[in-house]
């Protein structure tokens, strides 16, 4: 179905190319931005009948690492949310940008009284969004207009993380305990988290099909039970609902001299190849993710490291490079602790067969100043806590790089449709 | 109503034990009933190989049964000689209901998980794959929201033909 849709809008794309001015990718890459154009075309009537992307250079957000105390290697942006269709808004600072999850979540404690009162949960839908470590976000689903840079996604389903919502998380915690987790309410230092993973919704079709999905809950007063939620009402990567520049994101961070800094700033761009500032250079390697749900590396690629092949993934929400040990010294926390900086390399292999060898360095982080929140050489030994080998390219991977992340069901200059939007490029 | 049903199981699991790990084959269908799972079916003898290495072709010593627990695919592996479940793997939108699937071994795992060193790291939240090993079972968890996966093994019961348990999936 997706491919049929893409073909249908391909014709529109060609028209768009001919009449648009300043659109950077029409001439050199064929059907390069179908999804964006699909939206652009439909949105054109609302912006005065012109097909030109009206958001040139408004798709950029300042991306900061070192935004708050103890926020080691946590990249943040500011996000402005508004009551739908109004100018009643609040700018949320220090929102973690996470390429490993989907959707916007803001802590209720970070919202002002006007927003708290105005963001109504009309359907009494709650969500139990759990991470692997047992931390979980419980709270109601609301709709808000989400402003990123100069662009706005209207009425985006998002979560207000609030431990007292509905039954106070009782049903959520019970479900997580049955799953073998030790649930702890996520009480992070940041004000919110914005998941910009290539998976669009945070649950997908299974939460439409199964009322007992144990992710979404329907609450009546202080009683909550698992319930089905339509795709359009699920928490979603807000970029997917932007009228333009909606086919992924680009994260760009500078290099860090000596591997350590207190604070750095880069840029997060909306869209991939939709305007000049987010257009990939020709040398990028595009690695598609494995889309077979039964594969042990689903939504990941494979990485060859130390003579083994394992699942690998790129995750801005992971604070370190995490990989199995070969023969390096490790401290009592599981951090690599070599006497001198080690430089090594591993090879990522996309589902599409594209291979990319990445050089990386790691060094001791034991004597780092508490003021240094950017740790470019931070490596963590996964063998200390996992018998399953994996390679997590966390935040240090993003330094001195431009990383492109696709979006489910959207095409771009890097993916004409065969990857389904599930790719990373760098 | 389904949610309430599961909550009931959660709260009273000890008295409603349809334990499966280490139990005989027929406990699998009891799990399916307790979890209100659908699509219960025998899988083909060959099991999908993971990326690490192809699973030895000697899958004749076990059989795999698959069910869908409301968005989570659960596969139980039974030793065809002993007729006992020796491993469970899953993938899906959340982690599998290990309390149901691990039966009497769940409490042993919980105790081990609580004392696990996985949260020792001072500067990072470990949203990474991790392994919790207790005296009899090994529980591996990985993935992220919408794409969780895991593997539970009753280590002493793994038949010899399984050369790499991590390839069970």
Summarised one tens digit per residue, pLDDT across range A238-253 is 999 999 999 999 999 9
Confidence of residue A134 (pLDDT cuts 50, 70, 90): confident
Q: Enumerate the β-bridge partners of residue A305.
A: A308
Cα separation, A325 vs A344, in Å, equals: 12
Q: How far is B80 from chain A (nearest CA, A)?
A: 23
- pLDDT for position B44: 57
Q: In this complex, do B144 and A293 lie within 8 Å of one another by their Cβ atoms? A: no
- Provide the chain B residues 95-124 that lie in CB contact (below 8 A) with chain A: 95-100, 102, 106, 109-110, 113-114, 116-124
Residue with the bigger pLDDT between B25 and A141: it is A141
% of residues, chain B, pLDDT over 90? 40
- pLDDT for position A339: 96
% of residues, chain A, pLDDT over 90? 79
Is pLDDT at B54 greater than 90 in this prediction?
no
pTM score of the predicted model: 0.85
Q: What's the average model confidence in pLDDT over B66-95?
A: 93
Residue of B51, B110, B133 lying closest to A302 (CB–CB): B51
Cβ neighbours of residue A246 under 8 Å, at least 6 residues apart? A35, A36, A39, A153, A239, A240, A270, A271, A407, A410
Is pLDDT at A49 greater than 80 in this prediction?
no
- pLDDT for position A138: 97
Render pLDDT for B116-153 as a digit per residue (tens, 0 to 9). 644 444 444 556 788 899 999 999 999 888 999 999 99
- pLDDT for position A78: 98
Q: In this complex, do B92 and A217 lie within 8 Å of one another by their Cβ atoms? A: no
- The alpha carbon of residue A251 and the mean position of all alpha carbons in its chain are separated, in whole angstroms, by 10
- pLDDT for position A187: 81
Q: What is the mean pLDDT of chain B?
A: 76
Render pLDDT for A150-201 as a digit per residue (tens, 0 to 9). 999 999 999 999 999 999 999 999 999 999 998 999 888 899 999 999 999 9
Evaluate whether ipTM surpasses 0.85: no
Q: For residues A136, A140, A144 and A148, what is the CA-based torsion angle, rounded to 10 degrees?
A: 0
Distances (CA, A) of B137 to A60, A108, A181, A347, B73: 49, 40, 16, 33, 21
Render pLDDT for B83-120 as a digit per residue (tens, 0 to 9). 999 999 999 999 999 999 999 999 999 999 877 644 44
Residue of A206, A212, A302 lying closest to B36 (CB–CB): A212
């Amino acid at each position: 179905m997706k491919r049929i849709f893409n073909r249908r809008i391909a014709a529109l794309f060609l028209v768009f190319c001919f009449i648009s001015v300043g659109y950077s990718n029409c001439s050199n890459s064929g059907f390069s931005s179908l999804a964006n154009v699909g939206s652009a075309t439909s949105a054109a009537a609302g912006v005065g009948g012109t097909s030109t992307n009206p958001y040139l250079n408004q798709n950029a957000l300042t991306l900061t690492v070192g935004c708050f105390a103890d926020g080691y290697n946590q990249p943040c942006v500011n996000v402005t949310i508004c009551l739908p269709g109004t100018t009643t808004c609040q700018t949320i600072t220090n929102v973690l940008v996470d390429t490993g999850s989907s959707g916007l979540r803001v802590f209720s404690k970070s919202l002002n009284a006007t927003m708290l009162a105005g963001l109504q949960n009309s359907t009494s839908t709650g969500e139990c969004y759990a991470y692997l470590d047992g931390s979980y976000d419980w709270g109601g689903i609301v709709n808000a207009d989400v402003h990123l840079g100069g662009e706005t996604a209207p009425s985006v389903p998002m979560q207000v993380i609030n431990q007292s919502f509905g039954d106070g998380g009782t049903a959520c915690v019970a479900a997580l305990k049955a799953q073998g987790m030790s649930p702890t309410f996520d009480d992070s230092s940041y004000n919110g988290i914005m998941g910009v993973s290539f998976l669009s919704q945070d649950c997908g079709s299974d939460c439409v099909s199964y009322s007992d999905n144990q992710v979404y809950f329907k609450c009546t007063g202080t009683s909550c039970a698992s319930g089905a939620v339509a795709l359009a009402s699920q928490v979603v990567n807000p970029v997917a609902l932007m009228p333009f520049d909606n086919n992924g994101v680009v994260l760009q961070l500078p290099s860090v001299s000596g591997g350590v800094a207190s604070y750095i700033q880069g840029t997060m761009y909306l869209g991939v190849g939709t305007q000049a500032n987010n257009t990939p250079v020709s040398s990028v390697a595009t690695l598609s993710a494995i889309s077979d749900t039964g594969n042990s590396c689903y939504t990941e690629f494979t990485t060859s490291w130390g003579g083994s092949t394992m699942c690998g993934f790129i995750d801005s929400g992971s604070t370190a490079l995490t990989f199995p040990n070969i023969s390096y010294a490790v401290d009592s926390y599981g951090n690599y602790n070599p006497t001198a900086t080690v430089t090594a390399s591993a090879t990522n292999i996309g589902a599409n067969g594209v291979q990319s060898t990445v050089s990386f360095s790691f060094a001791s982080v034991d004597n780092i100043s508490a003021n240094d929140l950017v740790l470019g050489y931070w490596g963590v030994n996964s063998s200390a806590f996992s018998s399953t080998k994996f390679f997590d390219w966390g935040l240090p991977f993003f330094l001195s790089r431009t990383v492109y992340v696709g979006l489910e069901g959207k095409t771009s200059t890097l993916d004409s449709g065969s990857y389904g939007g599930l790719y990373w490029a760098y | 109503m389904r949610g309430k049903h599961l909550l009931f199981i959660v709260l009273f699991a000890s008295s409603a034990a349809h334990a499966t790990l280490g139990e005989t084959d027929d406990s699998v269908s009891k799990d399916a009933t307790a979890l209100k799972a659908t699509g219960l079916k025998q899988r083909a003898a060959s099991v999908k190989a993971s990326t690490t290495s192809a699973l030895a072709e000697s899958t004749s010593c076990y059989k795999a049964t698959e069910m869908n627990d409301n968005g989570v695919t659960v596969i139980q592996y039974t030793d065809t000689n002993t007729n006992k479940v020796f491993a469970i793997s899953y993938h899906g939108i959340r982690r599998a209901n290990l309390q149901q699937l691990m039966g009497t071994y769940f409490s042993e795992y919980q105790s081990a998980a609580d004392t696990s060193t996985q949260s020792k790291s001072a500067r990072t939240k470990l949203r990474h794959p991790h392994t919790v090993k207790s005296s009899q079972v090994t529980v591996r968890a990985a993935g992220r929201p919408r794409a969780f996966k895991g593997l539970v093994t009753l280590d002493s019961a793994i038949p010899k033909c399984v050369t790499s348990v991590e390839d069970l999936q």
